[in-house]
Amino acid sequence: MKLFLLVALFVLETVSAARPRKEKQICFDGSSYIRYEISPSKPLSSAKDEIKFKFRSTDASGLLLYAHSRGLNGDHVLLELVRGKLRVRYQLGRNSTLKQVIVGDGLGDDIVSTVMVTRDKKKLTVSAYGGQSDKMDIVIPGEDDRLDLNGFIYVGGYLNPPLQYPSFHRVNFKGCMYQATFKSSHKVDFIDGAINKRDGFTSDIEETDNPKIPPRAMNFKRETFLRFVIQEKDPIDPTKILKKLYGSLDFRTVLFQGTIFTASSVSLKFQQSQLSLISGADIISIDFPEEGQANDGRWFRIEFVVENHNLELQLNDVRRRITPSNKPQYGAVITYGVYENKMNFIGCIRNMVLQGVNITYYDIVDPYRVQSKLADGFDELSEGCKASDPCIPNPCFHDARCLTVTKDPGVECECLHKYQPPFCQFSSLATSCSAIKKYQPGRIGGDTRRKYDVDPDDSGPLTPVSVTCDYSKKTQGQEMQGLTEIETKETSNGVTISPPIDYTERFSYKKEIKYEVSIESVKAIVDRSEQCTQLVKYDCKDAKLFNAPGGDPASRWLSANGYLQYYWGGAKRDSYKCACAYTAKGCQDGGFCHCDSKLAETRAASDEGLLNVTRDLPVREVQFGGLSKTSQATFTIKRIDCYGVDTLGVVTFLAPDGWVRAPPWNAPYGGDISFYIKTVFPTGDLIDHRNSDESHIFQVRIYDETTIEVVVSFGTSIRTKYRAAIDDSQEKGERKRNLVDNEWHRIQVIRTLWELSVKIDDKPALDPVNKQPLRPLPLSGDGRSRLNIDLPMFVGSFWRFPTYKKGYVGCMKGFTINGVLFDLANAVDHLAMEPEVLVLKGCGNACEHKPCPYGTCVEQYISYKCDCSETPFYGTYCSKEIGTKIQNSPVYEYANLTMASSKYEKIVLAFSTEAVNDRCRGTLFQILSEDEAQYYKLSVIDRNSLEFEFRLLPLQREEKLRIDVGNIDFCDRTRHIVNIERTVEGSSESKIKYRIDGRKIVERDYQLKAAAEFMKPYKYYVGNTKVGGTDDVFVGCISGAKFHLYAADEAMPETVEPIARGIRSSNGSLSPIEHQSCGPTINTPIPMTTREVPGPTTPTDYPSTEFLRDVGIHEAEDTNWAVLIVVALLLMLVLVAVVVLTIWFVMQHKNDYQILEKADGTVIGTATVRGGNASVASVPAAGSTYFAPARAAPSVASTGNLSRAKSKSNDLFV
């Protein structure tokens, strides 16, 4: 019986569960609402909440929920539909506001949709299902993480909202809701509360089982058009001829202006807030209701009549009529949408009536229509309302207004503050006065000092400001580089601290320094300048500054980056000193500042100087103290001056496993990242940015010596690779550019909703294959191609090492995220992997100890290379000398160079003389053209002088330049090194530059009406010339002798080395060349030791990675293998569990049937043993007679005592 009851109950539950439960639903007509007053005794207060709505609507915009608090804390939550998408706004306290997050699409297309918002402290997850399903995780900015609501919650509508109501369109919901709940500290069910009129609920809604569902709409894309023949017969009475054009329709659009239909000179148009019916010169206009706009996502009802003496237009409930001045000309055809190849309309139309005939989508596309087709051009027509508004979310930057238009890419941005189209992302203004001079010299007028508008952070959030530019002053010896001057507001003429007795405590007087522009704008200009200075002054009497040495400082100032500074103008950072401490005279009493001296306690003193540590400027605040009744203190903070174009935050990545942790790229819909690199390595990861499940990824790496690769993934497992090459086009003779030439290169990745592109050195990148302009990487443009990453960005490498060995090695600076500079150097100390070991402040480390004795050290970051080209030496460290002894015969070479002429030359050699006194003279080298009409010649004249002689066409006479360097004896039999360079600046000004024995470079100008180029250099002599007499005889040793000839600026030179070539093979020499040294052996430096890069088989010695868990990053050496191992272990555990459960089940239901008998074999009863517990089945009472049932004889296979035999027959359970 019990078994039967259990089975019956199971069947009833199954049938009940299978039967569909009818959902409660309430409908809103655009003026309906639900209001819930939160009880003061039971407020909604929690760090976690969940909001869920299930609804169906044909309107693309409307309020779902608005909850707010009373009082000043400002907590509120807003969920609303905006043009078919879900918009969510959250505020947790006054300082934690998420302005908006937008997900999904097509939520107002008359389909059942579900939206859900869950919050765990500041982490918000927003989901939308219906139309285009979408999900987004985002972190609410600010410090607060609790939502405290004690006011009202409105669902579906908000009547008479205040001005601060943060809705996008301020329109109410129209449609039906099936679920509406808010779960916080307790759960609120709005549908149940409204229907059952529970406490706190007020509503004006309709509960219905059969809501009115409007007919399906017709969707117009920008290419869609419908062309109808205007019927002349009345559809009701065909005998009558219609003499008018009339009809009606409902429409919804995403355009701010457009044309719904055109019939000859008659058209129905809308523009922003007005709808107009136009017939020639006659116009009727009606404003859209509730101060709305055409594209606010609502449906609008239109009726129109066009006839000879009547022009009528009705919009919703407003009707207007005029008498046309001329007879309307509407022709025989009416066209909806595209007209005469002009795209006019994007949106939806329903309830269309034309000339009294109802027209539906199926009437138009019906292939079995008996009559002729109803309309032309319906190929692009579709059912439903799928018009997606590309202006939601707004793809325009810097508060620009977005307008949806019919031309590509579908939007038009109205830029403000001189930002540039198409998306107002970048400014048309330079970042400083020096940047104007460098990039926009045409803006500089005749005035050398005047106001200019600059944008301090280009693509960043700061708006343009006006600064003073001075182009008349020299900066670091350079003319007119451009000085940016920003004045202080209150402190430029001095501020007296009064009364001093109120500020006896140290640092008790505080004054914020205000500038003519915001402190953020000043800091942005400083960060992008080469050098900045600011004059500060402190006039004192019995008023200490730093009270050093030995005392506690009484004063200090706050730098722009928020650090307290203890040094004054003219002193070194953190020195507790003033400028006087660095002068020969020193400070009074030998102290660190005049104001800290004993003399300054009784007489007036002053400390003044320039603050010149650029990264500390501008001064944000000054703090003084330690004053007494007799103290006198006045401080002056002057303007800040900046010049040059550079950027801060220079670091060196010394190994491929070094990285710096940067903030996440919080720009889901677009932004830019830029930085400068300087390296010699052809591969390396520059940026690695991903979320915890690696569904969103952004990577930038050097792919090869000319190519940058960007890898992106937007919420899927698909990773798109985009490769962009540097524009290496060059003028004839110029050096070919690449990314690994050890020069600074700017890399910029730009992302919008529609595309991703790369710029290298401020030029659009090229296709790596065909070297043509590279097309941007197309993105979806609907808001779904967004980066949703809230974890840190790793710069220089990826943290998941040791299996990862592809990091960047080189220098990096100027790292900006959406125009905001992230100072990599400041981050090294606390956000880098092994500071000063793997990541170093500044650029370069290997050349720090000058390992190349005579050559130029070329930074290789983990090593170095010595450039010996401008030295007479050779070898790895420029320590090897290749020379020969010169007596009577020269070393010469015929060089068949490819260049027709040389624009400038660099020549270097070393020599030592054997002759003394009057015989210490002779030719060191000579270069001749092929026709010997032009030449260069360097000779030793006497023990104190050299002579450089040259002749250039068309002049026939030679020019001689005497080289006289004091205190150098060229005949002292020691090695002397000579560097000579000829350059041409401008059209006629030529310079000869020389350096002797590494001393200061000397420049000599010469004005000649000679050719600027050396034509056809051909023959090179080292030592005596072939035609030289006794005066040309040089006796001694010459080494090096390198001749570098340049066809153009920045070109790779063609080099001739007669001695080195002659020693390798004696061809071309008049006599055999023997290898000799012209001076003492140069010591070879100790080779640089390099750190072994850890790998899978190399032990690592890393600091704790606890912070990785803090930011949500999992630690794993290889994700793929880890996943496989975990899955295999889980499968094994499941298999073991199944086996154990099976054994347990069998043991629980295994039965032992025993025959109880006496020792003599008499049967006295039976028993069934289950799982080891005996339950007596049939044991006779005392004194009774038991008759055992007959049983079969045991089989032959049975063994042992029959009383121990076991039966597994199922009849034991009956």
Task: Give me the chain's average pLDDT, please.
Answer: 82
Query: What pLDDT shows up at residue 1164?
Result: 46
Per-residue burial over 763-783, b if 16 or more Cβ lie within 10 Å, else e, is eebbebeeeeebebbebebbb
**Three-state secondary-structure class, residue 364:** helix
> What sign does the CA torsion over 191, 194, 200, 204 have?
positive
**Three-state secondary-structure class, residue 183:** strand
pLDDT in tens, 318-371: 999 999 998 999 999 999 998 888 888 999 999 999 999 999 998 888 876 656
Contact 567, 632 (CB under 8 A): no
Residue range 710-729: mean pLDDT, rounded: 88
Contact 500, 627 (CB under 8 A): yes
Confidence of residue 723 (pLDDT cuts 50, 70, 90): very high
Residues 6 or more apart whose CB falls under 8 angstroms from that of 926 comprise 935, 936, 937, 938, 1020, 1021, 1025
Confidence of residue 1093 (pLDDT cuts 50, 70, 90): low
Q: Of 373-387, 452-466, 553-567, where does mean pLDDT reach its minimum?
A: 373-387
pLDDT in tens, 1146-1173: 666 555 444 444 445 544 444 444 444 4
113 φ, ψ to 5°? -125, 150
Q: Of 3-12, 124-133, 1039-1048, 1111-1120, where does mean pLDDT reach its minimum?
A: 1111-1120
- Token pair in block for residue 215: 């007919």
Confidence of residue 927 (pLDDT cuts 50, 70, 90): confident
Contact 346, 406 (CB under 8 A): yes
- Token pair in block for residue 1013: 């180029």
Residue range 167-181: mean pLDDT, rounded: 93
At position 147, the amino acid (one-letter code) is L
- The continuous run of DSSP H or E covering 195 comes out as helix 190-195
Q: Of 194-198, 706-710, 1072-1076, where does mean pLDDT reach its minimum?
A: 1072-1076
**Of residues 551, 547, 563, the one with CA closest to residue 624:** 547
What span, in angstroms and rounded, lies between the C-alpha atoms of 481 and 472? Answer: 9
Query: What pLDDT shows up at residue 1202?
Result: 32
Query: What pLDDT shows up at residue 1155?
Result: 45
Query: What pLDDT shows up at residue 371?
Result: 62
- Token pair in block for residue 687: 């940026």
- Three-state SS annotation for 945-1004: EEEEEEECCCCCCCEEEEEECCCCCCCCCCCEEEEEEEEEECCCEEEEEEEECCCCCEEE
Query: What pLDDT shows up at residue 1098?
Result: 39
Angle, CA 542 vertex, CA 540 and CA 543 arms, to 5°: 55
At position 1158, the amino acid (one-letter code) is K
DSSP per position, 1068-1122: T-SS----B-SSPPPPPPPPPP-PPPP-TTS-------HHHHHTTPPP-S-HHHH
Q: Of 160-169, 509-518, 1160-1169, where does mean pLDDT reach its minimum?
A: 1160-1169
pLDDT of residue 575 exceeding 90 = yes
Per-residue burial over 254-277, b if 16 or more Cβ lie within 10 Å, else e, is bbbbbbbbbbbebbbbbeeebbeb
Q: What percent of the chain has pLDDT over 70?
A: 82
Confidence of residue 973 (pLDDT cuts 50, 70, 90): confident
Angle, CA 167 vertex, CA 164 and CA 173 arms, to 5°: 130
pLDDT in tens, 1002-1050: 888 765 554 567 777 888 888 876 555 555 678 888 888 888 888 765 5
- Three-state SS annotation for 521-565: HHHHHHHCCCEEEEEEEEEEECCCCCCCCCCCCCCEEEECCCCEE
What span, in angstroms and rounded, lies between the C-alpha atoms of 226 and 377? Answer: 5
pLDDT in tens, 257-313: 999 999 999 999 999 889 999 999 999 999 999 888 898 889 999 999 999 989 999
Which residue would you say has higher pLDDT here, 174 or 1019?
174
What span, in angstroms and rounded, lies between the C-alpha atoms of 906 and 1155? Answer: 119
Which residue would you say has higher pLDDT here, 1067 or 838?
838
Query: What pLDDT shows up at residue 933?
Result: 81
Contact 884, 1039 (CB under 8 A): yes
Query: What pLDDT shows up at residue 848?
Result: 75
- Token pair in block for residue 318: 């407003």
Contact 435, 429 (CB under 8 A): no
pLDDT of residue 894 exceeding 70 = no
pLDDT of residue 588 exceeding 50 = yes
Query: What pLDDT shows up at residue 88?
Result: 96
What span, in angstroms and rounded, lies between the C-alpha atoms of 1132 and 931? Answer: 90
Radius of gyration of the chain (CA): 44
pLDDT of residue 1062 exceeding 90 = no
- The continuous run of DSSP H or E covering 928 comes out as strand 922-929
Confidence of residue 531 (pLDDT cuts 50, 70, 90): very high
What span, in angstroms and rounded, lies between the C-alpha atoms of 122 and 118? Answer: 10
Q: Of 355-359, 822-826, 1189-1193, where does mean pLDDT reach its minimum?
A: 1189-1193
**Domains of the chain, with CATH numbers?**
25-203 (2.60.120.200), 218-383 (2.60.120.200), 485-643 (2.60.120), 651-727+738-841 (2.60.120.200), 882-1076 (2.60.120.200)
Distances in Å between the alpha carbon of 791 and those of 107, 515, 693?
30, 36, 11
Distances in Å between the alpha carbon of 97 and those of 94, 170, 393, 855?
7, 20, 18, 59
**Of residues 927, 933, 887, the one with CA closest to residue 909:** 927
**Three-state secondary-structure class, residue 1130:** helix
What span, in angstroms and rounded, lies between the C-alpha atoms of 1168 and 1156? Answer: 11
What span, in angstroms and rounded, lies between the C-alpha atoms of 1068 and 1021? Answer: 11
DSSP per position, 1131-1195: HHHHHHHHHHHHHHHHHHT-EEEEEEE-TTS-EEEEEEEETTEEEEEE-PPTT----PPP-PPPP
Which residue would you say has higher pLDDT here, 537 or 1132?
537
Q: What percent of the chain has pLDDT over 90?
A: 41
Residue range 701-722: mean pLDDT, rounded: 90
Which residue would you say has higher pLDDT here, 1192 or 501?
501
Confidence of residue 1143 (pLDDT cuts 50, 70, 90): confident
At position 818, the amino acid (one-letter code) is N
At position 718, the amino acid (one-letter code) is I
Which residue would you say has higher pLDDT here, 901 or 658?
658
What span, in angstroms and rounded, lies between the C-alpha atoms of 433 and 430? Answer: 8
